[in-house]
Structure 1
Amino acid sequence: MYNCCSNYGMDFTRKDLQRSLALIKEAVQDERNDELTYDYLIKLAPTREDKEIITSIRDDERKHRRWFKEIYKCYTGQDIESTDEEKFIKPKSYIDAIRKALFGELSAVEKYRIIRMGLPNRYQRDIVFEILTDEMKHATKYNYLLTMNLSKRKNS
């Protein structure tokens, strides 16, 4: 174990830390998959505003992936390599892709809460808290895009 742990809180167990590390490995791949999906969404986006919103979300996902890799390496001394191997399933429509992204962000919040609970270091918990709040912000932005695009479709 590397010197990343403080005695702060001591409200975690080694089992919780191991679970968090396993979920961090998943999160790194999930963030990569989201990035690829959002690259596709940017191409489909019907307006400049949509493109800018999705681009900002995609850029956050890149940052999250980097932070999760740093946390993992701190505890294990190992690098996590994410791949592009998951097969990308082309969505039926832009609306379906936005809906899927929205629920993906909400699912990430649930996973990241568990990650945060198992980390013994306050600084790293704070990093995961920032990631969590970004994911909630992303879900809100996707909800906005979904609402705007559905209302445009309804009005046309």
Structure 2
Amino acid sequence: MDPQMQSGSMQAVLSVITSSIADERSDELFYEYLISVAPTEQEKRVIESIRDDERKHRRMLRQLYTQLTGRQPAPGLGEQEEFKRPNSYLEGIEQALMGELKAFEKYRGVYLALPDIYKPVLFEIMTDEMKHANYYNWLYAKNK
């Protein structure tokens, strides 16, 4: 667990949520690129479903931030995000897989620090991240 999160500090939770809003946008852009270079329609559809989940997560995190603070996150948060283009489709799939696993770990820390009423939101995001990691594992094995 992230040392910041061990304290259970709401400020740490809000900081992670804010950075996660931007991260989800960055992931969305990265996955748009992977969709554009995916070798089959089936792979494009799988990555499109993951991209759509990232968009959903971003909305959910913005809503959670608003519920926790009583105010909207900064306008345009994550809108200027960019990504580093991988050297190959397979490298991109590997990078996406590792990113999904790291996101799960980050969200686990937030989940443990949140009041129970908000935990279902993080549970949905966390289970989606594990589903995405499984899809990227499949895509990696298929293209290796």
TM-score, normalised via structure 1 length: 0.83
Q: 2:33 aligns with which of 26, 36, 40?
A: 40
Does 2:138 match 1:144? yes
Does 2:14 match 1:21? yes
Alignment partners' CA distance in 2, 1:108 and 1:128: 11
Q: 2:120 maps to what in 1?
A: 126
Letter of the structure 1 residue corresponding to residue 14 of structure 2: L
Letter of the structure 1 residue corresponding to residue 31 of structure 2: Y
What is the CA-CA distance between 1:60 and the residue it aligns to?
A: 0.3
Letter of the structure 2 residue corresponding to residue 113 of structure 1: R
Which entry has the higher C-alpha Rg, 1 or 2? Answer: 1
Letter of the structure 2 residue corresponding to residue 46 of structure 1: P
For residues 41-80 of structure 1, what are the alpha-carbon distances to aligned partners after superposition, in whole Å with 9 as ceiling and x for unaligned?
A: 0000000110000000000000001001001011212222
For residues 110-134 of structure 1, what are the alpha-carbon distances to aligned partners after superposition, in whole Å with 9 as ceiling and x for unaligned?
A: 1001111111142x20110111010
Alpha carbons 1:91, 1:97 under 8 Å: kept:
yes
Alignment partners' CA distance in 2, 1:24 and 1:83: 12
Letter of the structure 1 residue corresponding to residue 86 of structure 2: P
Specify every segment of 5 or more residues in structure 1 that has no aligned partner in the other structure, as ranges. Answer: 1-12, 151-156
Q: 2:105 maps to what in 1?
A: 110
Alignment partners' CA distance in 2, 1:16 and 1:137: 29
Does 2:59 match 1:69? no
What is the CA-CA distance between 1:149 and the residue it aligns to?
A: 0.7
What is the CA-CA distance between 1:14 and the residue it aligns to?
A: 8.6
TM-score, normalised via structure 2 length: 0.89
Alignment partners' CA distance in 2, 1:93 and 1:139: 18
Specify every segment of 5 or more residues in structure 2 that has no aligned partner in the other structure, as ranges. Answer: 1-5
Cα distance, 1:66–1:137 mapped onto 2, change above 3 Å = same
CA RMSD in angstroms, aligned pairs only: 1.8
Alignment partners' CA distance in 2, 1:91 and 1:37: 9
Cα distance, 1:121–1:47 mapped onto 2, change above 3 Å = same
Identity of aligned residues (%): 47
Please give the residue correspondences for 1:82-93 in structure 2 after superposition, counting only pairs within 5 Å: 82-93=77-88
Alignment partners' CA distance in 1, 2:60 and 2:99: 19
Alignment partners' CA distance in 2, 1:119 and 1:68: 13
